[in-house]
Structure 1
Amino acid sequence: MSRVEREPRMRLESGDFVFTNPSIVGFRICCRVSLPLENSVEIAITGMDDYEKISVVGRGAHGVCWLCRRKDDVYRQKVIIKTVSLEGLTQEEQNAIMGFVFLFFSRCEVTLLKRLHHPHIIGYYESFKTENAFSIVMQYAEGGTMDKMISEQKGIKFDENTVLNYFTQVAIGLEYMHSKQILHRDLKTQNILLNRKRTIVKLSDFGISKELSTRSLASTIIGTPNYLSPEICEGRAYNQRSDLWALGCVLYELAELKRAFDGENLPSIVMKITKGKHNPISEHWSDDLKLLISSILDVNENKRPFLKEILTCPLILPVCLAINLDLGALPSSPPKKTRQIASSNSSILRTQPVVVKSVGY
């Protein structure tokens, strides 16, 4: 693989991000931020040959994920490099992928690190393009995926506090994304990563499927139909409430260790989703938790609670505050109003006038 010719290195203050050589192979990003971030960062052109490949950690329809280590990193930190093959894609699809990179990695007025730095969002460090592939370098989460963690339970349920803690962390990360006007679009347990001790969760793989063509997106949907919202199954537009539906599916899966909606084939799954007939919730859980799941998995998207309402409801708010003490993460702003979002005879999601101080990330 041919190397991109290096340019002189520059020193920038922590948090700054630049892009150079917009003419190289039609690619607008060709710079990196050295790790770890300290008082200053080093910017240099980079490529795959700057990394030592350790092992393959995953394969998908569009590429492969490598566990790597940067050759000149004195800290010997491991990173994940997701390589998306451009072979077989139309020029329009390739341009769409490049548009994703430009969106997240090269906004001059709002840099990547300032825009997406959050304890529950996986860190994205740099990106580069070769002739036939595009690669993103991201933070390595040693604890693996939430999907893997759930499968390792072998049917032994988590306690309710653990379920609520994991769920709340995911909700906080998703609320942060929504506050930045970013939809996840592919929220599922396979795209939720954990640290080595499995105490902190991080959202990953958001937005990429959005940038693919209808043909490519269809193949993604067929691969993971269990988290699709009713409105998507009916061909309507994706919105924040669709992310919420997927969040409800994640909560169900944390509680029951299985998918909320399953079936022998895609049509049977879609039929269950559009009718809101999720698998039953066991009596093992509190009425409050069962009601929370049912409220989020409401077929009527307009009846689903807002994320701010979820994070400030009596069941979740104490968990959210406890997480804040550990990580400094709260909803990006307090809810503007309160409303009842559950049945009239229930109190779990009947939000009280709780005031949560807005904390910046």
Structure 2
Amino acid sequence: MLSDNSDITKLVDEAFKFTPMLFSEYIWYIATSFRIIKRDPNQNHSIEIRGLLGKGSYGKVSKCDYTDGNGNTYPAACKKCSPTPDAIDVFNREVQTLRQLDHLFVIKYLDLVEKQSKKFIVMELCEGSLKDYVEGKLERILKQLLDDRILISQVALGIAYIHSKDIIHKDLKLANILLWCQPSNDFGFAKELKLGQSEFSDTTHPGTENYMAPELLNAQGSAYPASFASDVYAFGIIIARIVKKGDHPFTSGDVWRKASMVHGLLPQNLQDLSWDLKDLILILMDNDPGKRPKMALVLRHPYFVLTNDKTKNYFVHQLWADIGLLSPSDRDKTLKKIFSSQSLEEWYRDLSDEKQYTTEEIDRMAKTLQFFRKLKPDVQADTVYPEKEYAQDIKEVITSDYDAVVGNQIDQVNSVHGLSRYSLYKLVQRSPKLLVSYLWSHLHDIIGLTKPSVSSAKDEQNN
């Protein structure tokens, strides 16, 4: 193809016409085949600094020309690191961790190079941060150009991957998510988000306040309960800031925003978002860390599943695979619990009924409201606690899919000959908003009964 002088566009059209699956796989391979450089100890690895890319509490990141062990030179990014003697072990462990990470949506480690007695971590070069993008500061990638759902899914896949490696990021934020942009003559830009990290975790309290979960903001003394759940909370804020083009989901006022987060309130500026986005963000930012979902399940939330028929089909495929991994006894119990009109009715009633608060919760909410009225005397309760408004919006959309026949069909699916992948798919197609939401609410229990290797985060990127 490349040896001819023919029109590349026509050749590509022909390739897609005659071997669409094979050619698509090949294009995907080419786009994602940039792997970690194999270090040859007999060859010199070097860098030449070309200019500053950015700086912060983590130090300076520069653009450089990196020469690998084969003598090939190409642009890269390098971060100068000066670990203290007490932190050298932590530094070496984290470099070893970086070497092992290999995922399309996690920034790739290339090498550790010493130059003038300084250590430089060499990484793949990216266009800029997600913060730069949402603020309209990238010349080649204009604000509003990229699809929010795709950006959010790429970040989710990256976080799910590092969590699958038992790594807690501890400082997820827009500035630490980088945009990789590969120019191409005929296909525009291949744009991918790359999960990065700003500093090594030898600091006592790593993280950024505007993204911190309540349990981190309220930590006392030397305690710092960073967890997978606190990463999930930060991801909720990242989603909101992506779709709101940089605006924080609480407020731009520092005092009000921090007070809201310290008190574990829900974001107060989600009114203009779709019902499924609201639902996803509220679940991710639950005040109780134990109620936040694992990242491996986030991409099976209705926000992603209801995109098109292919995503619905994939949801059913994964659910069917999870059910198949259950032991016979667990499988029987699970199917009876989920595919029952009674279970659906109970879930639907909980969705429709207004949340009931305990006396202790009411007292705590009253004290919190009193605190916020000191900041703004005329503030109303609905402003501080927008849960009722959000719940109403979500309920109206989901319940629009409900009718008396749905329960009967749920029962029929679990009949002796009724349960199949096809019957499950037809059921979801009939009432997608209702049933995807219902089935997603049971995923955590199903996954908890299966082996951890139900589906790896790395495999998920291919779907």
Give the secondary structure class of the aligned counterpart of 2:51.
Answer: strand
Q: What does residue 60 of structure 2 align with?
A: 64
Partner of 2:86: 92
Match of 1:350 in 2: 438
Query: Distance in 2 between the 1:227 and 1:150 partners?
Result: 16
Q: Larger radius of gyration, structure 1 or 2?
A: 2
Q: 1:251 to 1:280 in 2, by over 3 A?
A: same
Distance 2:160 2:81 in 1: 27
Unaligned segments of structure 2, at least 5 residues: 1-32, 182-188, 312-317, 327-333, 353-394, 399-432, 448-453
Superposed, which structure 2 residues align to 1:236-247 within 5 Å?
236-247=224-235
Q: What is the alpha-carbon distance in structure 1 between the residues aligned to residue 309 and residue 158 of structure 2?
A: 14
- Please say if residues 85 and 134 of structure 1, whose CA atoms lie closer than 8 Å, have aligned partners that are also in contact: yes
- Alpha-carbon distance, 1:37 to partner: 5.2
Q: 1:232 aligns with which of 213, 216, 219?
A: 216
Distance 1:306 1:180 in 2: 13
Of 67, 77, 80, 1:80 maps to 77
- Alpha-carbon distance in 1 for matches of 2:39, 2:266: 53
SS of corresponding position for 1:252: helix
Q: In structure 1, what residue type is equivalent to 2:134? A: I
2:106 counterpart residue number: 121
Contact 1:165 1:319 in 2 (8 A): no
Tell me the CA shift for residue 294 of structure 1: 1.7
- What is the rounded CA distance, in whole Å, between the counterparts of 1:322 and 1:231 in structure 2? 38
Sequence identity, in percent? 21
Equivalent position to 2:126, from 136, 141, 161: 141
The one-letter code matched in structure 1 to 2:231 is D
Of 150, 156, 160, which aligns to 2:134? 150
**Which has a greater percent of helix?**
2
Q: Answer yes or no: is the 8 Å Cα contact 2:61–2:77 preserved in 1.
A: yes
Once the two structures are superposed, residues 208-233 of structure 1 have per-residue CA deviations (whole angstroms, 9 ceiling, x without a partner) of: 442x132xx4xx54xx3100111111
Q: 2:47 corresponds to which residue?
A: 51
Question: Residue 290 in 1 paired to residue 378 in 2?
Answer: no
What residue number does 2:297 align with? Answer: 309
1:185-264 equivalences under 5 Å are 185-196=170-181, 197=189, 199-205=191-197, 208-210=199-201, 212-214=202-204, 217=205, 220-221=206-207, 224-235=208-219, 236-257=224-245, 258-261=247-250
**Residue pair 1:170, 1:203 contacting (<8 A) in 2 also:** yes
Deviates more, 1:63-72 or 1:274-283: 274-283
Q: Does structure 1 retain, via aligned residues, the 8 Å contact 2:163–2:295?
A: no
* Native 8 Å contact 2:179 2:192 kept in 1: yes
* Cα distance in 1 between the residues matched to 2:194 and 2:48: 25
Conserved 8 A contact 2:266-2:286: no
Please give the TM-score of this superposition, normalised by the length of structure 2. 0.54
The residue matched to 1:43 in structure 2 has which SS?
coil
Are the equivalent residues in 1 in contact too, given 2:94–2:200 (CA < 8 A)? no
Distance 2:137 2:111 in 1: 35
* RMSD, aligned α-carbons: 4.0
Superposed CA offset, 1:285-325 (max 9, x none): 321112211221111222222223321122213669979xx
Question: 1:169: which partner in 2?
Answer: 154
Residue in structure 2 matching 1:278, options 264, 267, 273: 267
Q: Is the 8 A contact 1:312 1:351 kept in 2?
A: no
Q: State the distance in 2 between where 1:133 and 1:259 align.
A: 38
Compute the TM-score of the two structures, normalised by the length of structure 1: 0.68
Q: Secondary structure at the match of 2:351?
A: coil
The residue type equivalent to 2:79 in the other structure is K
Matched-pair contact (CA < 8 Å) for 1:168–1:320? no
Is the 2:270–2:278 contact (alpha carbons within 8 Å) kept by the matching residues of 1?
yes
> How much does 1:158 deviate?
4.4
